Structure 1
Amino acid sequence: MHWIIRKTLEKGSFGFVSKATTHHHHSTGGHHHHLPPLIAVKSSTRSDFASLVKEKQLLDKFQGCPSILTCLGDDITTENGQKLYNILLEYTFDGCLADRIIPAKGLPEKVVGRCANSILAALFHIHRLGYVHCDVKPHNVLLVGNNYENAKLVDFGSYKSRNKEFFTCPREMVFDKRAEAKDVLFKIGCSDQIPVIPPGNKISKEARLYKQVFGEGSND
């Protein structure tokens, strides 16, 4: 199986993400399963190989969770004399959650509910295996289906193992199996998807909403 980059979708400090098409071809390298006609390819140069290799290894551990983007394999290619390490990913046609949120209005409650369920399923899966995502935000949630029946968590470049300290906004804390799920769901569900209050404003309305969602105080 061979793949060809058709369009660059995103560039960042890690490298770049592209849309690629595939066709049957005798491969001389790489490790990947039978690929669908359209895939996403996340690429980095030699100097950034390590972080992308770690992300690929992590995605392999998360195989089987429908709420995490599927890794289809990896490949090393050469472009303009420069070696690139590539991880081959499932391609979604519906974009990220951030692209669908209407400013000052958010999303319909049914869509919010489906997205929240998918995000929680992904968090439960990765927390059960001993990891924390650390960068859950609408830009890292991809939507699937005409009515956004499912959402998939992506970009594990900032992950940490659960035995390390990590930062959550607005407070620093040691990993609690429920902590990230609470803070992430409150932010994405209540501040981003349904922006009823400005994120980060420490007001009594926010505290009441947090208590309604989780049955306890906001600890602010």
Structure 2
Amino acid sequence: MAIAKRCAPDAEEDPWDAHSTIMTWASSILLAIIFLIVLGVSTIWLTVHPRQLQYAVEDVLVSNFHLDLNRSHLVTANFSIKMSTNNSNHRVTFTYESMNVSVKIRDRILASANGPPLFHDKDKFKEFRVNLTSNNVELHGSTLKALKETNSLEGIKINVIIEARVKFKALHWKQDHCRIQIFCGEVEAHSQGKAFKQTNCDVEL
């Protein structure tokens, strides 16, 4: 009489092991994607290697200056500002959509005007001029005191502030609507015929 050999039933697959395998594959794919993103950004950064823009005030002429020292304390003046900017980037260009230039003493704006439209190509040095008029601006307190102290035969010490909206293009990649803020402090506006010392500016991009 043949004795039937009892076969062991097929082992069932553990669902936990299948879930772990899927999670492992998902983690590997996610890490690979993160690695590729970091590698791409690093490659762009090393290729473009963006450098900060450089700005300087080359000259500031003041004319028709008048400060009323009576009770009104009004100041009137014309300012002609010559600026220079240097883009030392080899692969980045800047297009200025708008530019506002202000002349300040302390926190008081004496004059404000729009700057010219600019296209700043790579590895380029550019110069531009902005004319501003201060028409009967009333001053008080520390601002008036500062103007009295700085108003001399040598000139008037002012701050030049520029706020610009730009597009920059690096290779085939664009970043739209960035803002540039330029601060040029303790600039000595002078009358015609006086020497002027170039003033470098702080740039925040």
Give me the TM-score of the superposition, normalised by structure 2: 0.23
Could you tell me the TM-score, scaled by structure 1's length?
Answer: 0.22
**Normalized per residue, which structure has more strand?**
2
